[in-house]
């Protein structure tokens, strides 16, 4: 892993010492010290705070998000858009409470200028409103629950990734196009799961045989698979993020169901790291994504190569989104010359999205969520025995989310 001093990870040493010092030497000394410090340092870099999930089961997701963002900063030699930045990364462990606490520290103690990241919707629901309340900009790099695109949309909130429903909508559209007459739907029993199936049904025109919501930490899906076999649908669409999806797909394949009923899912369950854990069980499965490593967009191949060189593994969707988020922030910083005080100018610069996305065409809708193309990919086996995705077709051209009309921006 490349060592770069300007990227302090999960760096809060300053914050920690700031908290320990008072007990040691008293207030006056600290005040004197800090005033000395502020005169010594000339140009303060722009401080970016990233909250993501680095530990627990979702840890690999956050790792890719962090590394994708870091790559952009490293390519700019510690700056984004020519403006020096300092990146603070912290681990929310997938816990909204913890995320909230980190946000408070980053804002009040570290005095960050802008916030980015956040892997999971529940953490976003807890953290984002308070960040916006404090007048900061938030540039989301993954989680995009429906309220932020609709009723709760905010002039200072941007999401570079997508709106949560997008990939599921694409799959619904694809299955309709391909003429699948009936489908069996599966998602975990939580809001993102319900949004997923709602999104799918928004574009799917056939019959929904059954809609099953599983327990959040369900690991054995034998009962469900038996049910699918008994129901005989034309296709199965499932949204089970992370390890849940690994469990399900492995068990589905082991039950010999893959040849009986075709299975489809959003790209979340088919990134290259998870494919390593699933193996042959995933081969041939169609899935949807707004990005893939073989997209012909300018700079995409270079990004994939640079990421592989830097970290020794291929980037996932999450890395690509974070890389885009970094470059978007860079484009805005460049436009306002690193001065974040003029909120209107920053907002205009972010909205312009004047950066080259590794996805290709990209622009923001009025609710600050992307209008973009969404593709269907297929899992293939590479010559070296590993698995990857091949882009098959474009399902949506310039797709926008379903909540934009609810947003009064």
Partner 1 sequence: MQVTKTTTLGETVALNEPLAPASSQQHGKVQVSHGTGRRWPLSRWLTLLTFAVLLALPVLLAVLDNSFLLTLVSRCMIYGIAAISLNLILGYGGMLSLGHAAFFGIGAYVVGITAQNFMYGTALMEWPFELAASNDAIVVWPVAILLSALAALLIGAISLRTSGVYFLMLTLAFAQMIYFIFVSLDQYGGDDGMNLMSRNTLLGLDLDNDLTFYYVCFGCLLLIYLLVQRLIAARFGMVLRGCKQNEQRMQAMGFPTYRYRLMAFALAGAGAGLAGALIGNQMEYVSPNLLHWKMSGELMVMVLLGGLGTLLGPLWGAFAFLLVEDVLSGITEHWMLFFGPFLILVVLFAKGGIYGYLIRKEQP
Partner 2 sequence: MILFLEQLLNGLQFGVMLFLMASGLTLVFGIMNLVNLAHGSFYMIGAFVAAAIVASSGSFVLGLLGALLATAILGIAVEMLIFRVLYKRDHLEQILATFGIILFCNEAVQVIWGKTPLFFDIPAALSGSVELLPGLNYPLFRIGVIGVGIVVAIFLYLLINRTRLGMAIRAGSSDREMIAALGVNIKLLYSLVFGLGALLAALAGVMAGPILSVESGMGESILILTFVVIVIGGIGSIKGALAGAVLVGVVDTLGRAFMPELMRMALSGGAADSMGAALSSILIYLLMAVVLIFRPRGLFNASH
Q: Which residues bind partner 2 (CB under 8 A)?
A: 54-57, 59-60, 63, 189, 194, 211-215, 217-220, 222-224, 226-227, 229-230, 242-244, 246-247, 250-251, 254-256, 273-274, 276-280
Render 92-119 in DSSP notation, one character per residue: -TT-HHHHHHHHHHHHHTS--SEEEE--
76 binds, among partner 1, partner 2, none (CB under 5 to 8 A by kind): none
Among 6, 76, 122, 255, binds partner 1 (CB under 8 A): 122
Are 11 and 88 spatial neighbours (Cβ–Cβ below 8 Å)?
Answer: yes
31 binds, among partner 2, partner 1, none (CB under 5 to 8 A by kind): partner 1
Site for partner 1 in 66-105 (CB under 8 A): 90-91, 95-97, 100-101, 104-105
290 binds partner 1 (CB under 8 A): no
Residues with Cβ within 8 Å of residue 160, at least 6 apart in sequence? 139, 140, 141, 321, 324, 325, 328, 370
205 binds, among partner 1, partner 2, none (CB under 5 to 8 A by kind): none
d(CA 74, CA 87): 11
Q: Of 36-44, 186-194, 356-364, 388-396, which part binds partner 1 (CB under 8 A)?
A: 186-194
Torsion angles phi and psi, residue 136, rounded to 5: -90, 160
Site for partner 1 in 297-356 (CB under 8 A): none
> What is each CA distance from 216 to 91, 125, 193, 241, in whole angstroms?
21, 18, 10, 10
Pick between residue 223 and residue 380 the one whose CB is nearest to partner 2.
223
Structure tokens at 130: 């308070």
The separation between CA 226 and the C-alpha centre of its own chain, rounded to angstroms, equals: 33
Strand partners, 157: 138
Structure tokens at 5: 């001093």
Q: Which residue's structure tokens are 């800090």?
A: 34
45 binds, among partner 1, partner 2, none (CB under 5 to 8 A by kind): none
284 binds partner 1 (CB under 8 A): no
The separation between CA 173 and the C-alpha centre of its own chain, rounded to angstroms, equals: 22
d(CA 123, CA 366): 24
Binding mask 145-184 for partner 1 (x = CB under 8 A): x---------------------------------------
Angle between helices 300-311 and 317-335 (to 10 degrees): 110
Q: How far is the CB of 72 from partner 2 (least distance, A)?
A: 21
What angle is formed at CA 266 by the lines to CA 261 and CA 270, rounded to 5 degrees?
Answer: 90
Binding mask 216-235 for partner 1 (x = CB under 8 A): x-------------------
Pick between residue 153 and residue 246 the one whose CB is nearest to partner 2.
246
Binding site for partner 1 (CB under 8 A): 9-10, 12-13, 15-16, 18-19, 22, 27, 30-31, 54-55, 90-91, 95-97, 100-101, 104-105, 107-109, 121-122, 125-126, 129-130, 145, 189-192, 194, 215-216
């Amino acid at each position: 892993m490349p060592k770069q001093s300007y990227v302090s990870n999960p760096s809060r040493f300053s914050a920690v010492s700031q908290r320990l010092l008072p007990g040691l030497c008293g207030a006056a000394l600290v005040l004197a010290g800090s005033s000395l410090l502020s005169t010594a340092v000339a140009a303060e870099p722009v401080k970016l705070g990233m909250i993501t999930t680095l530990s627990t089961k979702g840890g690999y997701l956050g790792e890719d998000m962090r590394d994708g963002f870091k790559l952009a900063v490293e390519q700019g030699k510690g700056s984004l858009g020519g403006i020096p930045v300092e990146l603070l990364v912290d681990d929310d462990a997938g816990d909204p409470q913890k995320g909230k606490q980190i946000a408070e520290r980053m804002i009040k103690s570290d005095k960050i200028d802008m916030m980015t990241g956040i892997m999971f919707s529940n953490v976003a629901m807890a953290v984002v409103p308070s960040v916006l309340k404090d007048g900061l900009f938030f540039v989301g790099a993954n989680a995009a629950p429906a309220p932020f695109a609709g009723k709760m949309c905010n002039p200072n909130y941007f999401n570079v990734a997508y709106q949560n429903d997008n990939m599921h909508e694409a799959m619904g559209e694809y299955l309709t196009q391909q003429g699948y007459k009936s489908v069996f739907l599966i998602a975990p029993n939580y809001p993102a799961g319900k949004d997923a199936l709602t999104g799918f049904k928004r574009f799917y025109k056939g019959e929904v045989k059954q809609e099953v919501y599983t327990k959040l930490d369900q690991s054995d899906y034998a009962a469900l698979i038996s049910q699918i076999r008994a129901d005989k649908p034309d296709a199965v669409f499932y949204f089970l993020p992370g390890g849940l999806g690994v469990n399900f797909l492995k068990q589905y394949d082991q039950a010999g169901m893959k040849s009986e009923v075709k299975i489809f899912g959003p790209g979340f369950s088919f990134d290259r790291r998870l494919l390593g854990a699933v193996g042959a069980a995933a081969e041939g499965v169609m899935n949807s994504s707004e990005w893939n490593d073989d997209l012909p967009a300018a700079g995409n191949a270079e990004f994939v190569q640079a990421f592989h060189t830097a970290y020794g593994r291929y980037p996932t969707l999450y890395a690509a989104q974070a890389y885009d988020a970094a470059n978007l922030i860079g484009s805005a910083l460049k436009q306002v010359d690193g001065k974040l005080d003029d909120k209107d100018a920053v907002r205009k610069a972010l909205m312009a999205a004047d950066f080259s996305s590794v996805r290709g065409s990209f622009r923001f809708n009025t609710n600050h969520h992307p209008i973009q193309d969404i593709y269907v990919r297929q899992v293939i086996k590479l010559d070296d025995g590993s698995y990857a995705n091949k882009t098959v077709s474009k399902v949506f051209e310039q797709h926008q989310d379903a909540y934009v009309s609810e947003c009064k921006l």
